[in-house]
Structure 1
Amino acid sequence: MRMEYVEAVLAVVELVPAGTAVAYGDVAELLGSGGPRQVGAVMSHHGSAVSWWRVLRASGHAPEGHEGEALRHYVLERTPLLGDHLRFLRTGEGRWRVELETARWAPTESDFDIVDAIAEQLERQLHKLSAPDDEMSV
């Protein structure tokens, strides 16, 4: 995976405020590049330095294997949840998920300006990397 893409994904994730969440596909759509699996791969390998719990599956389920840690963040940030999350906190059992319809991040105009700048920079970097040598010397 290209580091330019990794950096762009992480930059978008850093914009997602506490108490909100996005699906992997939302990040890809905002960037206009990649898809849910590519974003998931970035988050799996490089996401520990950002608020990784705010990026989840379209179903609203937390990243696999990190449900307990993610749930603690959701409760602290007052992220809307569905299901028996309190039981899960107490016993490690019970089904729950983020109520993504309510919790989904709605970027502001200035957020979109930042996302657009990130996406444009990514596009330029990827185009530059894929351009033939003669195009790059123009």
Structure 2
Amino acid sequence: MRDEYVEAVLATVTLIPPGKVLAYGDIAELLGTAGPRQVGSVMSHCGNSVSWWRVLRTNGEPPKCHDATALNHYELEQTPLIQGHDGDYRVQMKIARWQPSEADFGAIEEIVRKMSEPCGEVVP
């Protein structure tokens, strides 16, 4: 995976405020490239440097194998949750999904622009 794409995904995740979340596909849509699986791959390999718990499946399920750790973050950030019968939970996506402001969209456009820049390598 291109380093520029990895950096773009991680930069976008840093924009998500506490208590808000996006689905993998939301990030792919904001960046205008790739898809949810590619975003998921970036997050699983490189996401530990950002607020990874703020990126999840569109149905609100937390990241697999990290649900207990994610729950601590959601509770601290007061992210709206739906509690299940067996101790499982989901994020209330309709309430918690982040809606970027105009300024946020400007920052995302800058991220996309940087991702699209040539690497500086000149091909003869």
Q: Structure 1-normalised TM-score?
A: 0.84
Are 1:94 and 2:78 counterparts? no
**Unpaired segments ≥5 residues, structure 2:** none
Aligned-residue offset at 1:72: 0.6
Asked whether the 8 Å contact 1:4–1:125 carries over to 2, the reply is no
Task: Determine which structure has more spread, i.e. the larger CA radius of gyration.
Answer: 1
Give aligned pairs, total: 124
Are 1:35 and 2:7 counterparts? no
Paired amino acid for 1:121: K
2:50 maps to what in 1? 50
* C-alpha RMSD of the superposition: 1.7
Aligned-residue offset at 1:33: 1.0
Name segments (4+ residues, structure 1) moved above 3 Å. Answer: none
Q: Structure 2-normalised TM-score?
A: 0.93
Q: Percent identity?
A: 52
Query: Pairwise mapping of residues 54-69 of structure 1 onto structure 2 (< 5 A)?
Result: 54-69=54-69
Paired amino acid for 1:19: G
Higher RCO (CA < 8 A, seq sep 6+):
2
Paired amino acid for 1:57: R
Paired amino acid for 2:97: R
1:106 maps to what in 2? 99
Residues of 2 paired with 1:98 and 1:125: CA distance? Answer: 38
Residues of 2 paired with 1:22 and 1:33: CA distance? Answer: 16
Residues of 1 paired with 2:67 and 2:43: CA distance? Answer: 15
